[in-house]
Amino acid sequence: MLKGYLRQDGRKGIRNYALVVYTVECAHHVAREIQYPFRESGAHVIGFHGCAPNDYANEMLQALCTHPNVGAVLIVSLGCENLNKESLKNVVSQSGRPVKTITIQEANGSRSSIAIGQQWLKEQIENLQNTPTVPMQMEELVVGTICGGSDASSGITANPVIGKVFDSILKQGATAIFEETGELIGCEHIMANRAATPELGELLVKTVGKAKKYYMKMGYGSFSDGNAKGGLSTIEEKSMGAYSKSGNSKINGIIKPAIAPNTKGLFLLDVVPDGDPMFGWPNANDNAEIAELIACGSHVVLFSTGRGSVVGSAVAPVIKICANPETYKQLSEDMDINAGTILEGMETLDDVAKKLEDCIVEVANGELTKSEGLLHQEFQLAYKKFDTLEPGCLPN
C-alpha cells in the first residue's frame, strides 16, 4: 500500500511541492531568490527561458503545474514576454490549486517582487505541510524511465533490470513510460511485434523512422564521445541496451510531451520534434527528457547510468540505477541502486530488480532519493514543435 496526496481531478501525488515558475529568463533570478530559503521545504523552480511564443512550452508548463506531485504554484513574470501567463494561471486555478502571479514590472522591481513572493510561498508551504495523505494503490502510479551517461554495461545490467521492474509493475496495474526514439533506431520492428494493434505497430516503426531522419538532417545522432569511451560501438548497440528498459510487455500506445496516457499500460514517449529541425537537438540534455516524462504524468523517474550522472529533477524524484561497479564505487553518494553487482557475479538481474521495485515503493511513500537528499532540482525546457497525435497512437 502506498500513500499519496489526493488532487481535485482524482489523481494522487507522491510529493506535495510548491512550484515557483518563471515565464521568461529575465524573471529567473527573482524566481530563484523567492524559492531559495524554502528549497529544503518542498519549493521547486521551473520555467521557460524564451521570450518568443512556443505552444510546446505553454503545454509543458500547464502539465507540470497541474502534476499530481504539485500542491501550489507561484508564477513569476517580467511582464513583456510572450508566454501566456494568464492561461497558465487559469489552468492551475481550475485544477483547485492555490496560484498567484507576480509581474516584476508592476511590483516595483526585484526586491519588492522577492518579498511578496517569499511571503506567499511561506504561507503555502505551511498549508501544504498540513495536507493529509490518503491510501494509494500501485495501479495509480506512473513510472517513467531514461538512461544517461550510458556505457557498455548499461545494456547488460541496469537497463534490463528496469525492464524487469516495468514488467512487474505493469502486471500490478501501474502505468510505465519509456522514451527517446532517437535511441531506439534499429529496434523499431522488434517494438512493432509487441504492439497492442497492427496499426500501432506501423506507427512505432514510423515514429523511430522520423527520429532517424531528424538526426540525419542535424548531422549528428544520439551518440556521445562518452558513450564510445565507455565501450559502446554504434547507435544500434546503444539502442539495443536502451530498448531493454522497456521490458517485454505489450506496448499500448505512443504519446508526446505533456500528453498523459489515456489508460493503464506501457507507452512510448516520442520526444523528437515533428517537421524539419527548427530549434536544435531534441535531447539537449537528460533533464529536458526527464521533464517531458514528468509532464506526461510520471510520479517517479528511473534513471540508469553507466558512466555516471548526478542530476536529479524538479517536480518528481529520480531514482538512479548504476550499471557499472567501478562507477558505483566512485559515485555511490549519488546512486540509489547498484546494478554493477550483476557484472561482479554477486547478484542476479532478478535480485536487483527486486531491490529497485522495493525502492520505488519506499520513494512513493516519502523516502528521499539520493538526488533529493542532495537538493538536486535540475530543470530544462527548450523550444520544440509537435503535431497532434495520429489516430491509432492511443487505445480507444
| Contact between residue 143 and residue 300 where contact means Cβ atoms under 8 Å apart | yes
Per cent of the chain over pLDDT 70 is: 94
| Contact between residue 316 and residue 298 where contact means Cβ atoms under 8 Å apart | yes
Reported as a pLDDT band with limits 50, 70 and 90, residue 193 is very high
Q: What is the pLDDT of residue 307?
A: 87
Closest-CA residue to 125 (of 5, 4, 19, 12): 19
Q: Which amino acid is at 7?
A: R
Strands 134-136 and 2-6: antiparallel
Statement: residue 129 has pLDDT above 60: yes
Q: Which residues pair with 3 in a beta bridge?
A: 135
**Mean pLDDT along residues 155-161:** 91
CA–CA separation, 313 vs 44, rounded Å? Answer: 9
| Contact between residue 204 and residue 269 where contact means Cβ atoms under 8 Å apart | no
Strands 134-136 and 99-103: unpaired
Q: Which amino acid is at 119?
A: Q
| Contact between residue 168 and residue 174 where contact means Cβ atoms under 8 Å apart | no
Main-chain dihedrals φ then ψ at residue 359, nearest 5 degrees: -65, -40
Q: Which three cell numbers stand for residue 103?
A: 509581474
Reported as a pLDDT band with limits 50, 70 and 90, residue 223 is low
Statement: residue 384 has pLDDT above 90: yes
Reported as a pLDDT band with limits 50, 70 and 90, residue 219 is confident
Statement: residue 325 has pLDDT above 60: yes
Q: What is the pLDDT of residue 246?
A: 94
| Contact between residue 17 and residue 42 where contact means Cβ atoms under 8 Å apart | yes
Q: What is the pLDDT of residue 280?
A: 83
The three-state secondary structure class of 348 is: coil
| Contact between residue 283 and residue 182 where contact means Cβ atoms under 8 Å apart | yes
Statement: residue 220 has pLDDT above 80: no
- Per-residue model confidence as pLDDT tens digits over 245-268: 999 999 999 999 999 999 999 999
* Between 50 and 182, residue with greater pLDDT: 50
**Mean pLDDT along residues 183-206:** 94
CA–CA separation, 309 vs 302, rounded Å? Answer: 12
**Mean pLDDT along residues 195-218:** 94
Reported as a pLDDT band with limits 50, 70 and 90, residue 351 is very high
CA–CA separation, 89 vs 264, rounded Å? Answer: 29
CA–CA separation, 24 vs 48, rounded Å? Answer: 5
Statement: residue 240 has pLDDT above 90: no
CA–CA separation, 322 vs 306, rounded Å? Answer: 6
Q: What is the pLDDT of residue 241?
A: 67
Least confident of 38-42, 77-81, 151-155: 151-155
List, in order of start, the domains of the chain with CATH numbers. 2-134 (3.40.50.2300), 138-374 (no CATH)
Main-chain dihedrals φ then ψ at residue 193, nearest 5 degrees: -70, -15
CA 226 to chain CA mean position, Å: 22
Q: What is the pLDDT of residue 390?
A: 94
Q: What is the pLDDT of residue 239?
A: 59
